[in-house]
Structure 1
Amino acid sequence: MSTIKIATHNGHFHCDEIFACFLLKNLPRYADAEIIRTRDPKVLAECHTVVDVGGVFDAEQRRFDHHQKTFTDTFNSLRPEKPWTIKLSSAGLVYVHYGKEIIQELLKKESLEEHERNHLTEILFDKMYENFVQEIDAIDNGIDIGENIKYKINTNLSARVGFFNPGWNDPNPAEKEETGFKQAMQLIGTEFLDKFHYYIRQWWPARALLEQAIAKRFEIDPSGSILVFDRSFPWREHLFDIETEQKDTLGDTIKYVLYPDLNKTWRIQAVPLNNKSFDNRLSLPKQWQGLRDDELSAKADIPGCVFVHASGFIGGNLTYEGVLTMARRSLEIGNSNKRKIQE
């Protein structure tokens, strides 16, 4: 059987076509594929799959270019159930069409039951696009992060890939280009897999710990508004997902999470309004904010207080009993203030 050929353009390379090639080579049928770098239309026509060159987007024909004037596709336009509206690069095009299959292949290497792999495929397909691929699409298409930008980020993945290109005064540019392309693919692959493994090995297992804490919340306090963890872990996204799933029974009743820090003292953290918000459902009391140690302990009338941040989103106490008292007192003050407003 002849080797599958993946074609992309030669000359100065970019993050998107290198990443597109890396993604394809994670599929078994492309594992041994040869990457051809050319702009020759005759050679492109003979290749099985073409990315970032050729002026054609046709998924059925495995042509994934985005440079033609007629191209306007986004993740949302190709998958209307998805929210992302950044114009796609060749990386995004390949990811939209093959991303789920690639993630399924990567998940086969993990110790997971089939039903969990299927469930995680859907979750990680979205997470990896939103938090990895989308940035590559945006930068390749010249889309700024936002308005009124005060400084430029020069150390993103796309910028670092660019450093592998030969310099203008390189004595052997053709040789450097081929070597640099391979080095850049290794860099992108390592970072993509690092992100993937974070989600599967750290982020996802945290959900089970959060579910356990939610199940025990009434043992902590009759309000059910306080969660206690035995360690710090990524809980915010999971909490909002679980609340959405259990909105009839859970809603937004959870106000604080408590957990030990590395110094074996305890932290109290207010739950934000949403995953991207800096505002809280119930900040620690205003009269505590910005105070520390003895002054804070005296003001709160709670022994062992360490600090409360000036914004009221986090605080600390030397003991579990102390931090739990801070949470309960905060609830009391918050409820009292709410009643005064209503009156």
Structure 2
Amino acid sequence: MSTAAQETPSKRQKLQQIIGTHNGTFHCDEALAVFLLRRTNKYRDADLKRTRDPAILDTCDIVVDVGAVYDENKQRFDHHQRGFTEVFGHGFETKLSSAGLVYKHFGKEVVVNTTQLSPEDLKVETLWLKLYEEFIEAIDAIDNGISQYPNDLKPKYRSRTDLSSRVGALNPAWNQPADSQTVDAQFAKASQLTGEEFLGRLNYYANAWLPARDLLIASVAQSKQNIDPTGKIILFEQFLPWKEHLFELEAEEASNITPGDAIYVVYPDETGGNWRIQAVPASPESFESRKALPEKWRGLRDDDLSTASGIPGGIFIHASGFIGGAIVVVCGRTSVPK
């Protein structure tokens, strides 16, 4: 008789990994932590036990958000114990929740398994860090009670549409049944909700954000070669979100993009029928430009703009001089407007 034939259901069941977390009221961090673990090779088909019983938790292969222990070797990832100060690193200083702990240790594997990138691909770390910054860190901060306003400024309105709030709303209300079967079913919905949001953001950053970054790098090199060797003008052959990438790449020593060089970007608008010239802002959030378009052009349209600029096909220049439009782009002219 073969080994496979000799296996009993009980023996096969012992091979299944078990994820443990606490029962009762659930939160966004452990709901997401469980989802992320099920995107790894080891815990993909894991069962889930929700309990606070130490004896039961000891039978689990990995435990998150309960147990008062953080030990990677023991696969224990709690953050509630006295003295816990773990952060993600890489410039991030927010105290981790169970979501951040699991993402710190398993996040790259999740990115690889979801995007099918090679583990050695540099894009994996780029996406891993980006998803922490844009998605996970806020969950860590909310779960640990870290104010978004360090000076305790009072917000002018309340928002309860963030992911943590929506997960919290899936818990039974005070006057609804709260038996373990009901709460566990709601937890499954919460874990799926957090996972769908995470995968949606990962899909965007892998398939839209990263390609835009690559195009920007290529466009800078091509513009220096074909348009303006000083790097003051960047020409894009297609519309793409460029601002965030430009500032991030300027801050990276290995990117070969010198901070402050770029003054204007030229690109087709979203329709593809006209062109835009936009002044690079002084900083990502600034309304001021490194070099606004000439004052004598500002607020002009159509023929008046063409006459003032000496460039045919003018459509408009914004009154502040941060952006303008034209029907055609004159690629032979590489000088910066006075």
Distance 1:246-1:56 versus aligned 2 partners, 3 A rule: closer
- What TM-score do the two structures reach when normalised by structure 1? 0.82
Cα distance in 2 for partners of 1:154, 1:290 equals 41
Q: CA deviation at 1:274?
A: 4.2
Correspondence for 1:133 among 136, 158, 168: 136
Q: What is the 5 A alignment of 1:52-201?
A: 52-76=65-89, 82-108=90-116, 112=117, 114=118, 117-146=120-149, 147=151, 148=153, 149-171=155-177, 174-201=180-207
Q: CA deviation at 1:92?
A: 0.7
- What TM-score do the two structures reach when normalised by structure 2? 0.83
Q: Secondary structure at the match of 1:154?
A: coil
Cα distance in 1 for partners of 2:66, 2:59 equals 14
Higher helix share: 1
Distance 1:248-1:123 versus aligned 2 partners, 3 A rule: closer
Gapped regions of structure 2 (runs ≥ 5)? 1-11
Answer yes or no: is the 8 Å Cα contact 1:166–1:173 preserved in 2.
no
The residue aligned with 1:21 is 34
Which deviates more, 283-292 or 120-129? Answer: 283-292
The residue aligned with 1:341 is none
Q: 2:191 is aligned with what amino acid? A: M
Identity %: 47
Q: Secondary structure at the match of 1:85?
A: strand
Cα distance in 1 for partners of 2:208, 2:181 equals 40
Deviations 1:281-324 (A, max 9, x none): 22223444455556655554544433334443322223324x99
Q: CA deviation at 1:48?
A: 1.5
Distance 1:248-1:220 versus aligned 2 partners, 3 A rule: closer
The residue aligned with 1:229 is 236
Which deviates more, 161-170 or 18-27? Answer: 161-170
Distance 1:133-1:172 versus aligned 2 partners, 3 A rule: closer
Output the aligned Cα RMSD: 2.7
2:39 maps to 1:30 = no
Q: CA deviation at 1:223?
A: 4.5
2:337 maps to 1:332 = yes
Aligned length: 319
Q: What is the 5 A alignment of 1:197-208?
A: 197-208=203-214
Cα distance in 2 for partners of 1:169, 1:292 equals 63
Distance 1:247-1:260 versus aligned 2 partners, 3 A rule: closer
Answer yes or no: is the 8 Å Cα contact 1:294–1:305 preserved in 2.
yes
Cα distance in 2 for partners of 1:187, 1:231 equals 35
Deviations 1:152-205 (A, max 9, x none): 332111111122211222246544422221112111111111111111111222
Answer yes or no: is the 8 Å Cα contact 1:217–1:225 preserved in 2.
no
Deviations 1:72-101 (A, max 9, x none): 22223xxxxx11111111111111122222
